[in-house]
Structure 1
Amino acid sequence: MTSPQNPPYGTPEAPLLTVRGEAELEVDPEIARIGITVTARGRDRRTTLDDLTRRNTTVLDLLKSYGDEVENLATGTVSITPELTQRGRGERVRTYHGAVHLTAELADFTALGELTTRLADLDLTTIDGPTWALRPTSPVHRQARRHAVREALQRAEEYAEALGTTLAALLELTDIGTTGGHPRAAFDRRAVRFSMAAPDAEATAPDPLDLEPPRIRIRAEVGAQFTMNPPRL
């Protein structure tokens, strides 16, 4: 409840001061996400499904072999789609296309480079990413908000000092929002194209990709309203 001595509007006895506080931090990412698409195609629906199941199992086994280094693993959409061709008066199925989409989240970026390379070396497997981010519970978010509040208070004090007075009371603090934290960087796309070809059984394992995580910019902004002691103008 607002005190009668500090109403939520400006008066000559309690001038209103409205300011905005902003903070921008640049930090290292905490997690990386990659998208994995496993595909299969064939003229027979059951054969296509069997191939898709086998390749999906191979990918899942590889991901799970990294243990806790893969913090989250989820299967998205699964599809088996017939491709039709027009022949005479009727339609016929020319081929079937199957796909399974997965996402994996890692915090160990050294393991990420190795895992990405090994996935891209699998038959008919495509990699998308990585997407770099902060955790939702990262203390960086709180740090940015605290900086924004201190910036708002400092700005308000500087305005009051310029008028030869001081702040009297805080009337309102508004969280305008925290943005950023999700830059995107792609690894070498040659690895993705290579993944579309069948692997050579006699070829040696590819060298791990050297991934360089980008710095993440996170921005917080608040609005604040203060009353001031009456300045002598």
Structure 2
Amino acid sequence: MAEVVTKGVGRVERTADRAEVQVSFEATGSTRAEAVDRLTGRVAALEPAFARPGVEVRSRQLTVNDNWDGSRRSGGRASQNYVVRVDDVTVLDELLATAVAAEPTWLGGPNWQLSDDAEAVAEAQGEAVADARRRAEGYARALGARLGPLQRLADGDAETQWAVESRAAVAGYGGSPGVPPQVDQLSLEAQRIAVTVRCTATWALLD
């Protein structure tokens, strides 16, 4: 039996409903203990914001080490790195404003995500199969044949990516003390996420 093999692509877009932010703080002191005390004071105002509903700290990493001036130890340094997931994007603006006001050493984000892409993947799969069928029907007509039943279907990997480039100017902020950006002037609208599915289909060709 003659066959035709076609590839199909399905692509759907959804508005992101989750965001991830990375925030880092650093402090120095004459000793490591003093550096930790100063760091604790810097992050104290931010910790309550991380505890609010819809916000989850996915990672909290503390690093403490000596400072060195050549071969001579000169005090200590402490840093705290956070990875924060925001499931309620309505609180994102306020959270970022609070984070920037605390003058972090570095702030990155928001990185937009879908909390559940199952429905989007299912729709993209349907579009991919329909696309493969349309291509097969075109080949069948070109050959003067009829398209028969599906024989085999191979799944391609689903891809999730930003549909448009982020316009959030806060991304990658490495702020100087006392000079925070104006968060209320940034565009922090939830981004469009594109989900793409590819498949390879084998169809029978009938006389």
Could you tell me which of 69, 88, 96 is aligned with 1:116? Answer: 96
Contact 2:155–2:199 (CA under 8 A) maintained in structure 1: yes
Contact 1:117–1:209 (CA under 8 A) maintained in structure 2: no
The match for 1:7 is none
Q: Give the TM-score of the pair, scaled to structure 1.
A: 0.75
Question: Residue type of the partner of 2:28?
Answer: R
1:49 to 1:117, Cα distance in 2 relative to 1, 3 A: same
The match for 2:68 is 84
Q: Give the TM-score of the pair, scaled to structure 2.
A: 0.83
Could you tell me which of 41, 44, 47 is aligned with 2:28? Answer: 41
Contact 1:17–1:156 (CA under 8 A) maintained in structure 2: yes
The match for 1:99 is 79
The match for 2:149 is 169
RMSD: 2.7
1:213 to 1:73, Cα distance in 2 relative to 1, 3 A: same
Higher Rg: 1
Q: Number of paired residues?
A: 204
Question: Residue type of the partner of 1:30?
Answer: D
Structure 2 unmatched ranges of 5 or more: none
The match for 2:18 is 31
The match for 2:3 is 16
Could you tell me which of 150, 156, 169 is aligned with 1:188? Answer: 169
Question: Residue type of the partner of 1:127?
Answer: L
The match for 1:220 is 197
Cα shift at 1:207: 4.2
Contact 1:116–1:127 (CA under 8 A) maintained in structure 2: no
Distance in 2, matches of 1:190 and 1:170, equals 47
Cα shift at 1:163: 2.2
1:207 to 1:186, Cα distance in 2 relative to 1, 3 A: closer
Question: Residue type of the partner of 1:185?
Answer: S
Cα shift at 1:147: 1.0
Question: Residue type of the partner of 2:152?
Answer: E
Contact 1:113–1:210 (CA under 8 A) maintained in structure 2: no
Contact 1:116–1:209 (CA under 8 A) maintained in structure 2: no
- Superposed CA offset, 1:157-209 (max 9, x none): 23223323223332211111111334663633499455x4259xxxxx97474
Cα shift at 1:40: 1.5
Structure 1 unmatched ranges of 5 or more: 1-13, 200-204
The match for 2:42 is 55
Distance in 2, matches of 1:17 and 1:99, equals 60
Contact 1:130–1:187 (CA under 8 A) maintained in structure 2: yes
- Superposed CA offset, 1:55-101 (max 9, x none): 3443222211x31x22x322243211222113xxxx22123221111
Moved more, 208-217 or 166-175: 208-217
Q: Percent identity?
A: 22
Contact 2:17–2:190 (CA under 8 A) maintained in structure 1: no
